[in-house]
Amino acid sequence: MASQLQPQRGSPPVINFGRLSKDQATRVLAVQDIARACRDQGCFQVVNHGISMSVMKEALEVALEFFALPKEHKEKFASLDIQQPIRYDTSSRDGISVARSFLKHYANPLEDWVQFWPVDPPAYRKKMGVYAVEIQRVSMQIMEAILQGLGLGPSYMQEKLENGVQFLALNKYPQFAHRGDDVDVGLGSHSDYGFITILLQSSTGLEVMHHDDVTWTAIPAISGALHVHVGDNLEVLSNGQLKSLVHRAILNPDEPRISISSIHGLSMDEKVRCAKELISEQHPEMYRGSSFQDFLDFLLSNTNSYKRFVESLKIGRDE
């Protein structure tokens, strides 16, 4: 589990999530802090989110146990088809993987997807399932706060988000073996498609590029904290008020690293469009609508040169 570290200069704010369930005045201040972090930096970390240390620790442990399985067990899930409900791989057909192994699968609603998950290690379905359900709960609370901060109201799109996609990506990065380079990248720079990504990391390795910055900022691995960053869907919904976060993973020089990303969006074919409440004569619609399926098709095309899928959705670009 992550070590106890204090946030470093330039790191995103650490927000006490419990403030959202306090009195109205306290909640308003917490929503303002989240809105500011999304707008200015594209990310933040949350503590006191209600997920126990044991649940997070067991999720990381069972992920590590999966990656430690013999090759033949893991390759049962290997596929070139990125639309499979579960997929294991060790290399870069996505154009950004450099040095990582990953297992990706859907998780919401759990009863629809758990049947596709590994049965080895034996505790995988139970422990990862508990974690997935807890993360889905936290994601809804985070989205409520973000939508309230945008002036759309906390229940905006609530049902669609509750029934939407939750996509888990388990990643194992090897320990950095110094070969004379300044840095060894495990996953290249990119943004995520969904509304938000919630990341649990066993140790440091995540780096982000804050808006209008040209340098990378390392994200500390604070014990018990979850890292949250803005995805392409939120940039579209907010009509550009928020920007999706460009990030990457570097290899840890001290140890192998496990991370679990949970990406949250609408259902596969549901298009995300700019909220009409945020469109005006002064702020015309900036993006075309798109669905998760559109994003998968975009990945399959292999003709893009964008770090962020959302760049391809900008109205007036390449038209």
For the chain, which domains are there? 17-313 (2.60.120.330)
Span 263-280, average pLDDT: 96
Residue 38 has pLDDT above 80, yes or no: yes
Span 275-286, average pLDDT: 96
User: What pLDDT is attached to residue 241?
Assistant: 96
Rg (alpha carbons) of the chain, rounded to whole number? 19
Percent of the chain clearing pLDDT 70 (strictly above) = 89
- How is the chain split among helix, strand and coil, in percent rounded to 5? 35, 20, 45
> Locate tokens 């620790």: which residue?
57
Instruction: Look up residue 183 and give its two tokens.
Output: 């840095």
Residue 94 has pLDDT above 60, yes or no: no
Tell me how far CA of residue 134 lies from CA of 131, 142, 249, in angstroms: 5, 13, 24
Span 227-245, average pLDDT: 97
Residue 188 has pLDDT above 90, yes or no: no
Q: Rounded distance, CA 239 to CA 282, Å?
A: 12
More confidently predicted of 210 and 26: 26
Span 251-255, average pLDDT: 88
Worst-scoring range by mean pLDDT, 80-94, 134-148, 205-219?
Answer: 80-94
Instruction: Look up residue 220 and give its two tokens.
Output: 């500390």
Residues found in the chain: 319
Q: Rounded distance, CA 115 to CA 310, Å?
A: 32
Instruction: Look up residue 291 and give its two tokens.
Output: 């669905």
Whole-model pTM: value is: 0.92
User: What pLDDT is attached to residue 96?
Assistant: 56
Span 284-296, average pLDDT: 93
